[in-house]
Amino acid sequence: MSYKINTNCIHAGYTPKNGEPRMIPIIQSTTFKYDSSEEMGKLFDLESEGYFYSRLQNPTNDMVAAKICALEGGTAAMLLSSGQAAVFFSVFNIAGCGDHVIASSAIYGGTFNLFAVTMKRMGIDFTFVSPDSTEEELDAAFRPNTKAVYGETIANPALDVLDIELFAKAAHKHGVPLIVDNTFATPINCRPFEWGADIVVHSTTKYMDGHAAVLGGVIVDSGNFDWDAHSDKFPGLTTPDESYHGVIYTKKFGPGKAYITKATAQLMRDFGSMQSPINAYMLNLGLESLHVRMPRHCANAQAVAEYLSKHEKVAWVKYCGLPGNKYYELAKKYLPNGSCGVISFGLKGGRKAAEKFMRELRLASIATHVADAKTCILHPANATHRQMNDEQLVAAGISADLVRLSVGIEDVNDIIADIEHALSLTE
């Protein structure tokens, strides 16, 4: 029986049998017991499926991963301790020292740092391209050692919308997969696999959890990328892994499971970036209402964006649901039901006015977080990008007056009244 996405938010990943718990059980155990060491040995050789140590796999986590897998329409998925871990694993699973990756320049600051500094130190070269690149510009960025293309459906905090089809086409033409961070859109508003993306990652810390309760990440494989057809580029998937007695992931697990099995068997084994089962349980509570919360986030953000764009003290508003926005048309294609609850805007009074405005807010709280039930606000020039001067901020696409507003699911009249009051006290 296959269900629609709203039903899958609630039921996918776990179906209790007669007399079993209605909620997913929290298997809070580091280890699992076996009757013979032969049986245990088979697990270590990837000869049989099962659990032996929660650094690699845990049943609660797998149930929640299976739910997200169903929401994205993938073939395999794994939970990780954070979005950062998910982004790192998704790339490092197929690219190593001496390799090259193409990434959109409009990505989360943490991801940019991971790529441009930390992974660069590991010997992986990154080329950052404009999210607005043409096919020719993308083509020109490829090298013989390119292993993946990376972008965000809706960039945090730039709010640019990725032309997924165009990026996927370029990636496939050069024999590599497209990895998409779908955190801001969530599978409720966009399913990148339907547009040609091969791998999807999320920071589940944001809308999926939705309550600012637990950190987490997830990687989902579409199962569509043909690793064997590009065996020279991806020997890690298509040639024997000596740490598992010569297992070949694509042969043994097939195209649907090879990528996630390798990431679990090698990277999770060696790095241990595992999500705690109790966090997975809380993430699952968030997922059950994701399809109800997302439309409310979008409707509230749309109303707030429209209100701000008409206000005399507001210099500019960036939200792809506004007709004048650069990404309005792309958003209609990829995000027909809405984008997300995050808006950025600037005040005519600039940086000083932004500081005063934020001080006067009562409902919206100042927080480094985005994408949860409570409206929150951040001034990047004073927080995440504090070390930059005004010129460096402009180069990073973040003006000194930029305020990032994450619109929650409170009554929109209260959110607007709060903004109205704070603006009335601002120069």
Ligand X SMILES: *Cc1c(COP(=O)(O)O)cnc(C)c1O
What is the b/e burial string over 51-87, where b = at least 16 CB atoms within 10 angstroms of the residue's CB?
bebbebbbbbbbbbbbbbbbbbbbbbbbbbbbbbbbb
- Residue with structure tokens 């068997």? 265
Q: Is residue 359 exposed (0-12), middle (13-18) or buried (19+ Cβ within 10 Å)? A: exposed
Interaction of residue 334 with ligand X, rule CB under 6 A: no
**Between residues 351 and 404, which has the closer beta carbon with respect to ligand X?**
404
Handedness of CA 109, 112, 117, 121 (dihedral sign): positive
**Between residues 57 and 111, which has the closer beta carbon with respect to ligand X?**
111
Residue 421's identity, in one-letter code, is H
**Between residues 105 and 261, which has the closer beta carbon with respect to ligand X?**
105
Considering the complex, what minimum distance in angstroms separates the CB of residue 319 from ligand X?
A: 17
Identify which range of 54-62, 76-84, 142-150, 240-248 contacts ligand X by CB under 6 A: 76-84
Interaction of residue 84 with ligand X, rule CB under 6 A: yes
Q: Which of residues 149-208 bind ligand X (CB under 6 A)?
A: 152, 156, 181, 183, 203, 205-206
Considering the complex, what minimum distance in angstroms separates the CB of residue 340 from ligand X?
A: 10
Identify which range of 106-114, 120-128, 239-247, 328-336 contacts ligand X by CB under 6 A: 106-114
How is residue 113 written in tokens?
A: 């740092």
Considering the complex, what minimum distance in angstroms separates the CB of residue 61 from ligand X?
A: 15
On the CB side of 128, how many CA atoms lie within 13 Å of its CA? 15
**Between residues 99 and 181, which has the closer beta carbon with respect to ligand X?**
181
Q: Which of 25, 96, 110, 350 binds ligand X (CB under 6 A)?
A: 110
- 317: part of which helix (H) or strand (E)? strand 314-318
Residue number of the CB atom closest to ligand X: 83
Considering the complex, what minimum distance in angstroms separates the CB of residue 162 from ligand X?
A: 11
**Between residues 8 and 104, which has the closer beta carbon with respect to ligand X?**
104
DSSP label of 116: I
Considering the complex, what minimum distance in angstroms separates the CB of residue 177 from ligand X?
A: 18
Q: How far apart are CA 314 and CA 422, in angstroms?
A: 12
Considering the complex, what minimum distance in angstroms separates the CB of residue 108 from ligand X?
A: 4
Residues in Cβ contact with 405 at an 8 Å cutoff, skipping those fewer than 6 apart: 304, 342, 343, 344, 345, 364, 375, 376, 377
Q: Pattern of binders to ligand X over 133-152, x per CB under 6 A?
A: -------------------x
DSSP label of 266: I
Interaction of residue 83 with ligand X, rule CB under 6 A: yes
Q: How many residues belong to the site for ligand X (CB under 6 A)?
A: 16
Alpha helix stretches (DSSP H) within 342-397:
350-360, 390-395
Considering the complex, what minimum distance in angstroms separates the CB of residue 46 from ligand X?
A: 28
Q: Which of 54, 57, 75, 82 binds ligand X (CB under 6 A)?
A: 82
- Across the beta sheet with 376-378, the strand order is 314-318, 342-347, 403-406, 376-378, 365-366
Interaction of residue 61 with ligand X, rule CB under 6 A: no
Considering the complex, what minimum distance in angstroms separates the CB of residue 341 from ligand X?
A: 12
Closest to 409 in 3D by CA, of 215, 207, 213, 183? 207
Considering the complex, what minimum distance in angstroms separates the CB of residue 114 from ligand X?
A: 9
Q: How far apart are CA 107 and CA 104, in angstroms?
A: 7
| Omega before residue 323 within 30° of 0, cis | no
Q: Pattern of binders to ligand X over 216-245, x per CB under 6 A?
A: -x----------------------------
Closest to 154 in 3D by CA, of 356, 416, 324, 335? 335
- For residues 7 and 64, the answer to whether their CB atoms sit within 8 Å is no
Interaction of residue 375 with ligand X, rule CB under 6 A: no
Considering the complex, what minimum distance in angstroms separates the CB of residue 83 from ligand X?
A: 2
Interaction of residue 349 with ligand X, rule CB under 6 A: no
**Between residues 206 and 385, which has the closer beta carbon with respect to ligand X?**
206
**Between residues 204 and 238, which has the closer beta carbon with respect to ligand X?**
204
Closest to 179 in 3D by CA, of 190, 164, 194? 164
Q: How far apart are CA 183 and CA 204, in angstroms?
A: 7
**Between residues 209 and 401, which has the closer beta carbon with respect to ligand X?**
209
Q: Which of 57, 75, 93, 111 binds ligand X (CB under 6 A)?
A: 111
Residues in Cβ contact with 227 at an 8 Å cutoff, skipping those fewer than 6 apart: 234, 237, 238, 250, 255, 258, 259
Considering the complex, what minimum distance in angstroms separates the CB of residue 85 from ligand X?
A: 7
- Footprint of ligand X (CB under 6 A): 82-84, 87, 108, 110-111, 152, 156, 181, 183, 203, 205-206, 215, 217
